[in-house]
């Protein structure tokens, strides 16, 4: 294992629901290929259409994953924070990157180069299953998000997106205020809501004591009430508990 992967870094990586559940031999072999990367605020990790270059994990900071039209209009798909793993789609189909990924503030990453990873998978093809689990998890969350966009009114859509941003993050504290590093504008772009509608919904939730809006972030004050507003189902709570189980909220000791 690389010397820069300290016990603290390894513990943080294992807080990710996916990486925290992979076999130890795969963990060891994967991290033996890892190299560190850093990005400055606003720097792109990759653009839509770029050739696939491997698998990544975020060690510090946040990446904004989005699509931009020729007219310059942006649609934010997600904000990816530590210790999430991503980039597996292009590993499977060998096709170009599907979206842009740009740093929101300074970002530190772990990079597994594409060819090195493919060589490893050629030697140990049973590892493909572990990467398939990572992609299946991403697909499950995407389906939930698509259904929300198609069926729900603005308040429920916004509340549910905040629930997933909070509860699916390995960095969320077990109690107390949870800070989501997202602006009103970014949240509206994620949900295809106008700035006015986003502001109205957030103000309503703030008046109810569910959250507090601050510059560049949203502070969730009452997570249980937020889940009630979002009408999170029993099945979805089960998914969230599984996502939380490997992280500091529920992992005993041993994470995209």
Per-residue model confidence as pLDDT tens digits over 106-136: 999 999 999 999 999 999 999 999 999 999 9
Average pLDDT over residues 198-220: 93
Q: Which two tokens stand for residue 102?
A: 């740009």
Does the pLDDT value for residue 188 go beyond 50?
A: yes
Nearest CA among 95, 99, 46 for reference residue 69: 99
Peptide bond into 83 cis (omega under 30): yes
Q: CA gyration radius for the chain?
A: 18
166 close to 205: Cβ distance less than 8 angstroms: no
Please report the sign of the dihedral spanned by the C-alpha atoms of residue 72, residue 77, residue 81, residue 87.
negative
Q: Determine the pLDDT at residue 244.
A: 62
One domain, residues 170 and 103: no
One domain, residues 23 and 121: yes
One domain, residues 67 and 126: yes
Please indicate, yes or no, if residue 253 is contained in any of the structural domains: no
One domain, residues 186 and 227: yes
Does the pLDDT value for residue 75 go beyond 90?
A: no
Please indicate, yes or no, if residue 255 is contained in any of the structural domains: no
One domain, residues 166 and 133: no
Please indicate, yes or no, if residue 251 is contained in any of the structural domains: no
pLDDT digits (tens, 9 = 90+) for 34-66: 999 999 999 999 999 999 999 999 999 989 999
**What pLDDT band is residue 238 in, cutting at 50, 70 and 90?**
confident
Burial of 78 (0-12, 13-18, 19+ CB in 10 A): buried
Q: How far is CA 76 from the centre of its chain?
A: 12
Bridge pairing between strands 211-214 and 100-113: unpaired
Q: Examine the fold and report which residue of 121, 144, 167 is the final residue of a domain before the chain moves on.
A: 144
Burial of 172 (0-12, 13-18, 19+ CB in 10 A): buried
Please indicate, yes or no, if residue 215 is contained in any of the structural domains: yes
For the chain, what is the domain count?
A: 2
Please indicate, yes or no, if residue 2 is contained in any of the structural domains: no
Q: Examine the fold and report which residue of 101, 126, 144 is the final residue of a domain before the chain moves on.
A: 144
The answer to pTM > 0.75 is yes
Instruction: Return d(Cα 192, Cα 29) in angstroms, integer.
Output: 41
* CATH number of the domain within which 193 lies: 1.10.10.10
Structural domain span for residue 186: 153-245
Does the pLDDT value for residue 252 go beyond 70?
A: no
The overall average pLDDT reported for the chain is 87
Instruction: Return d(Cα 85, Cα 54) in angstroms, integer.
Output: 11
Please indicate, yes or no, if residue 132 is contained in any of the structural domains: yes
One domain, residues 121 and 184: no
Please indicate, yes or no, if residue 55 is contained in any of the structural domains: yes
One domain, residues 140 and 37: yes
One domain, residues 133 and 169: no
Does the pLDDT value for residue 255 go beyond 50?
A: no
Does the pLDDT value for residue 17 go beyond 80?
A: yes
Higher-scoring residue by pLDDT: 149, 57: 57
One domain, residues 158 and 180: yes
Nearest CA among 70, 33, 24, 73 for reference residue 55: 33
134-138, 150-154, 199-203: least confident range: 150-154
Percent of the chain at pLDDT exceeding 90: 51
Percent of the chain at pLDDT exceeding 70: 91
**What pLDDT band is residue 254 in, cutting at 50, 70 and 90?**
very low
One domain, residues 93 and 69: yes
One domain, residues 131 and 161: no
* CATH number of the domain within which 94 lies: 2.60.120.10
Q: Examine the fold and report which residue of 78, 109, 144 is the final residue of a domain before the chain moves on.
A: 144
DSSP bridge partners of 104: 62
Q: Determine the pLDDT at residue 246.
A: 45
3-12, 171-180, 215-224: least confident range: 171-180
Please indicate, yes or no, if residue 168 is contained in any of the structural domains: yes
One domain, residues 14 and 139: yes
Q: For 182, how many CA atoms within 13 A lie in the half-sphere containing its CB?
A: 27
Higher-scoring residue by pLDDT: 236, 191: 191
């Amino acid at each position: 294992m690389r010397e820069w992967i300290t016990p603290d870094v390894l513990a943080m990586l294992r807080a990710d629901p996916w990486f925290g559940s992979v076999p130890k031999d795969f963990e060891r072999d994967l991290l033996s290929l890892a190299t560190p990367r850093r990005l400055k605020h606003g720097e792109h990790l990759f653009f839509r259409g770029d050739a696939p270059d491997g698998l990544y994990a975020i060690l510090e900071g946040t990446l904004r994953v989005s699509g931009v039209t020729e007219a310059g209009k942006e649609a934010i798909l997600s904000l990816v924070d530590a210790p999430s793993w991503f980039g597996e789609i292009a590993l499977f189909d060998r096709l170009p990157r599907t979206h842009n990924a740009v740093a929101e503030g300074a970002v530190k990453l772990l990079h597994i180069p594409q060819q090195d990873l493919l060589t490893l998978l050629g030697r140990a093809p049973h590892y493909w299953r572990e990467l398939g689990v990572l992609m299946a998890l991403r697909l499950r969350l995407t389906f939930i998000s698509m259904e929300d966009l198609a069926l729900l009114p603005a308040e429920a859509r916004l509340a549910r997106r905040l629930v997933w941003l909070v509860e699916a993050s390995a960095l969320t504290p077990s109690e107390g205020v949870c800070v989501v590093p997202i602006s009103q504008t970014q949240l509206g772009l994620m949900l295809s809501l106008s700035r006015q509608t986003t502001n109205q919904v957030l103000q309503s939730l703030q008046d109810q004591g569910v959250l507090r809006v601050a510059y560049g972030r949203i502070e969730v004050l009452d997570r249980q009430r937020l889940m009630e507003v979002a009408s999170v189902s029993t099945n979805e709570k089960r998914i969230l508990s599984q996502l939380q189980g490997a992280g500091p909220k529920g992992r005993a000791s041993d994470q995209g």
